[in-house]
Amino acid sequence: MALGIQARKSNRAIAKELNVDEGTVRRDKKFLETPEHLRPVKKERPKKPKKVKPAYDPVDTTSLELHFQRMSKALRLWIAEEKMVLNEIEYVLHEAGKRLYLGRDRVSAIPVPTESPSEFMSVTRPDGSVWRDFIPNPDFWADWLAFCLPRQHELHRRLLRETSLWARS
């Protein structure tokens, strides 16, 4: 546009070259002619917070089934990433189930997570850069997994059972 102005071309000719509307060229010229200290300043508007909705609806069976499938996939991926062997998998699953069963009164008070299972697990997973010398043991993973599992008793029992069967195959 600056070359068109220097060549004293008309607004219409500049607009045709740039493939824009003539009004756009007129407005831009007016803006460029205004001294910088008099130009309007764009103000940052506060962003509306996103509506947070739960990852699943505890009363909707379709939603629970979809959450179960996502959780199952995330759990299998986590087991593969940790390179766990069968006896570790069995121990962690058993202990996580036991912790959920023993703390079933407290578990219902925990709100339904808002993230998908894989996001939730990655956010709550210990970070190696922060923990440096910490090597998670199976009891730690059982506590962590119990925290990540769904809050419905039957759903997490089914998830632990199917993951155990998957690990054995």
Do 15 and 76 sit in the same domain of this protein?
Answer: no
d(CA 132, CA 146): 23
Q: What's the pTM? A: 0.56
d(CA 72, CA 165): 12
Do 25 and 82 sit in the same domain of this protein?
Answer: no
For residue 73, pLDDT beyond 90: no
Do 16 and 97 sit in the same domain of this protein?
Answer: no
Residue range 79-135, pLDDT digits in tens: 888 788 888 888 888 888 887 777 755 655 555 566 676 676 666 666 655 556 656
Do 19 and 70 sit in the same domain of this protein?
Answer: no
Do 86 and 32 sit in the same domain of this protein?
Answer: no
Residue 48 DSSP SS3: coil
| Range(s) of the domain holding residue 15 | 2-38
d(CA 20, CA 67): 49
Which CA distances in Å does 106 have to 57, 123, 130? 19, 22, 29
Averaged pLDDT of the chain? 78
Do 74 and 128 sit in the same domain of this protein?
Answer: yes
Residue range 128-138, pLDDT digits in tens: 555 566 566 77
- Spell out the SS3 assignment of 104-119: HHHHCCCCCCCCCHHH
Residue 47: inside a domain:
no
Do 92 and 145 sit in the same domain of this protein?
Answer: yes
Number of domains comprising the chain: 2
Do 71 and 12 sit in the same domain of this protein?
Answer: no
d(CA 75, CA 71): 6
Residue 49: inside a domain:
no
Residue 114: inside a domain:
yes
